Amino acid sequence: MPSSATTDQTASATLDQVIDAFRAHHPEGDVDLIIHAHEVAAEAHQGQLRKTGDPFITHPVAVALMLAEHGLDAATVAAALLHDTVEDTSITLEDLESEFGEEIARRIDGVTKLDRVRYSNREQAQAASIRKMVVAMAQDVRVLVIKLFDRLHNIRTVHALREEKQRRVARETLDVYAPLAHRLGVQEIKHEFEDRCFAILYPGPNAEIQTMLAERAPEREAFIERMIEEIKALLAESGIEASVTGRPKHQYSIYRKMKEQGRPFEDIHDLIGIRIITKSTRDCYGALGLVHSHWVPVTGRFKDFIAMPKINLYQSLHTTVIVPDGKPL
């Protein structure tokens, strides 16, 4: 489960934080546009509260901060600050277009239309809603990005809703937004969606997996460090410059694997992933060759997303190998 620190950070986000994050990516960017959007949004939402009891403006500011941290442009950050004004205040789309121009108004309109999509069951969510969002993505992917971060902040603060509503939001997030985050290549958001929804929808299994992961954490961390150092040495010997990082698999992915394979937690061994980021495509294939020559690759587990990129142009090579102690990696 993501730490509460992540939640608190966005819940208490300020305009100054948004501006600082934006300037880190765009030193010469249009900060005045962001400040003006915040002024309009703050006035429009004056007196409104969220279910958490916080002033409503904390939500669009939190969404804007996350977008700024991910390097989005000033128009998108401004649209995020204003994204609930048409839906929840007396401001009209025409007002926004007059004040901020067609580009920002169009993005806000796109988010507003997505907000109006309602889900009655999983089948409808997976069909109608994904179609609706893919259409939005095709017109302007930034509309979908705003909506993803909007949902991310909402799922982080979902505890303020009654239990039935929490489960509905979690199911919708798991079925619709997590796959879309995956398609956009924002894996950290996909994983956070999945783990937070897993905790709401399956609290028992979630708690069990958390406990078992905690019990094996020291062993797992030592294994990750050992593998990272071994891979770094392999790459250095061949003159390949790369960053190498490791991480444990996420709780929901472990649960899904247990269900799909019909195996208990103790029999799930591939709980760790290693990421190698190189400076060129040639070095990426070279690193793959080194890994495959050093350890035994698992048949059928290799995927080449360089030769066949994903829809979001994500490019990488995926493989699974068996390391000396018999564990898949």
Pick the catalytic residue from 30, 54, 88, 115.
88
- The residue behind tokens 């997976």 is 126
Pick the catalytic residue from 8, 20, 43, 87.
87
H or E, element range at 248: strand 242-248
Count other C-beta atoms under 10 Å from residue 199's C-beta.
18
Q: From CA 135, how far away is CA 150, in angstroms rounded?
A: 18
Q: From CA 304, how far away is CA 67, in angstroms rounded?
A: 30
Strands 303-304 and 317-318: antiparallel
Q: From CA 120, how far away is CA 98, in angstroms rounded?
A: 36
For the chain, give the longest Cα–Cα distance: 65
Q: From CA 179, how far away is CA 154, in angstroms rounded?
A: 17
- At 68 the three-state DSSP class reads helix
Tokens matching residue 285? 């294939």
Active site annotation includes 221: no
- Closest by CA to 153, choosing from 83, 48, 228, 239, is 83
- Closest by CA to 149, choosing from 64, 206, 58, is 64
- Residue 110 and residue 94 in contact, taking contact as beta carbons nearer than 8 Å: no
Active site annotation includes 175: no
Count CA within 13 A, CB hemisphere, residue 22.
27
**Helices 217-237, 281-294: crossing angle, 10 deg rounding:** 120
Could you give the residue numbers annotated as active site? 87-88
